[in-house]
């Protein structure tokens, strides 16, 4: 009953705020667009649960991976399947594009990492070296290397062209669920079944800090970006900011920096039903977000920097307001049945994709 009351209160607050900000004669800021129900497209094709969704950085395509061992490429403008990539012989755990979208990397419970030419639907490289399920893979910004993490407790760095493993990084005590790399490639982070989130120096491959605040498996992490940092620094230095906070974000009002930015925060999603946000330089936890009623599976920062999005096994996708004490801004009810496994935001256009245990990928328009 209390959960239902909280959801109704969230709906009322959202409507009141929308009326105040975007009432008669007021133009809505497109940069603040949020996903709205119902979903524009419900895409069926996979025979088992969807494990990951990833938007193409240039074209109107979104890629899904699944427990049915396949990868599918979809046109999100039409909601139609374009291609199917076959090659893995066990669950495909994760997919990711390089910066120009010419290459796609995938990883699997078959212990392999594959690199694909998506246009030709062709596997151009297969990498092997992990001793157990490979759970996540990410390209370095330059595109010539990628990182992977595994149930064998390790993180590996690979050369894309040769397929050789360049480095193996140890530290976690159990299955490493995800690895993420900053755009500037100075830091990377990992999360694990060992309940920790770890941030590492990329060049030295040395651990910088470990966050041990979760009480259960940490399934997903996301680095912040410059706009989000500007909002979150207020929670570190006070609501009105400070000279230090202002110095770190100076000029970002007028113009975003063109060079790659080093994020100051990391968000984590856990099976303890919480989302936490940590300030990397100080090691402080700035947010402990409660609201989901089951395991939280995915988390990402909204491009505006004002919101955080999450998905969970409670069938919902939720939007959290970073400016207003991390309260729940919006809930997409019954997004998937029974569990929402993954979400991704299209950085070219305001569109959200989600995947679920129901074998379905959904496209959500934002406004």
- Tens digits of residue pLDDT in 211-223: 999 999 999 999 9
Residue 297 lies in a domain: yes
Residue 238 lies in a domain: yes
Q: What are the tens digits of pLDDT across the range 65-95?
A: 999 999 999 999 999 999 999 999 999 999 9
Rounded Cα distance between 172 and 166, Å, is 19
Give the range of the structural domain holding residue 222, as residue numbers without chain letter: 173-248+259-333
Residue 318 lies in a domain: yes
Answer whether 320's CB lies under 8 Å from 346's CB.
no
What are the structure tokens assigned to 84, written together? Answer: 């199917």
Backbone angles phi, psi at 191, to 5 degrees: -135, 160
Q: What are the tens digits of pLDDT across the range 330-365?
A: 999 999 999 999 999 999 999 999 999 999 999 999
Answer whether 46's CB lies under 8 Å from 359's CB.
yes
Q: Report the number of distinct structural domains present in the chain.
A: 1
Residue 288 lies in a domain: yes
Residue 109 lies in a domain: no
Q: Taking the C-alpha atoms of 19, 20, 22 and 24 in order, what is their torsion angle to the nearest 10 degrees?
A: 80
- Per cent of the chain over pLDDT 90 is 84
Residue 94 lies in a domain: no
Residue ranges, the chain, pLDDT below 50: 239-243, 245-246, 248-255
- pLDDT, residue 31, reads 85
Average pLDDT, the chain: 91
Residue 225 lies in a domain: yes
Residue 197 lies in a domain: yes
Report the CATH number at residue 295: 2.130.10.10
Rounded Cα distance between 364 and 353, Å, is 6
């Amino acid at each position: 009953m209390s959960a239902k009351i909280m959801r109704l209160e969230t709906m009322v607050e959202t409507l009141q705020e929308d009326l105040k900000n975007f009432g008669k004669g007021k133009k809505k800021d497109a940069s603040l667009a949020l996903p709205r129900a119902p979903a524009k497209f419900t895409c069926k094709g996979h025979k088992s649960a969807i494990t990951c969704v990833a938007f193409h950085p240039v074209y109107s395509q979104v890629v899904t991976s699944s427990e049915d061992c396949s990868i599918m490429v979809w046109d999100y403008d039409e909601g139609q399947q374009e291609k199917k990539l076959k090659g893995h012989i066990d669950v495909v755990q994760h997919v990711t594009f390089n910066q120009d979208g010419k290459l796609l990397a995938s990883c699997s419970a078959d212990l392999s990492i594959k690199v694909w030419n998506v246009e030709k639907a062709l596997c151009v490289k297969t990498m092997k070296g992990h001793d157990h399920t490979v759970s996540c893979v990410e390209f370095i910004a330059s595109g010539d290397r990628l990182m992977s993490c595994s149930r064998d407790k390790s993180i590996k760095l690979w050369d894309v062209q040769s397929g050789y493993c360049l480095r193996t990084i140890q530290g976690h005590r159990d299955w490493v669920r995800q690895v993420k790399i900053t755009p500037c490639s100075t830091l990377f982070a990992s999360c694990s079944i060992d309940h920790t989130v770890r941030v590492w120096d990329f060049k030295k491959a040395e651990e910088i800090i470990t966050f041990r605040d979760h009480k259960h498996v940490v399934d997903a992490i996301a680095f912040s970006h410059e706009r989000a940092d500007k909002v979150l620094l207020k929670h570190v230095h006070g609501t009105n900011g400070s000279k230090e906070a202002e110095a770190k974000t100076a000029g970002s009002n007028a113009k975003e920096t063109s060079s790659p930015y080093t994020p100051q925060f990391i968000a984590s999603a856990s099976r303890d039903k919480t989302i936490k946000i940590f300030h990397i330089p100080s090691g402080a936890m700035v947010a402990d977000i409660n609201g989901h009623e089951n395991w939280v599976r995915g988390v990402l920062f909204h491009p505006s920097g004002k919101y955080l999005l999450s998905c969970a096994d409670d069938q919902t996708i939720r939007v959290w307001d970073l400016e207003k004490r991390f309260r729940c801004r919006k809930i997409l009810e019954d997004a998937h049945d029974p569990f929402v496994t993954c979400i991704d935001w299209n950085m070219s256009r305001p569109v959200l994709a989600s995947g679920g245990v129901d074998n379905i990928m959904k496209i959500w328009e934002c406004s």
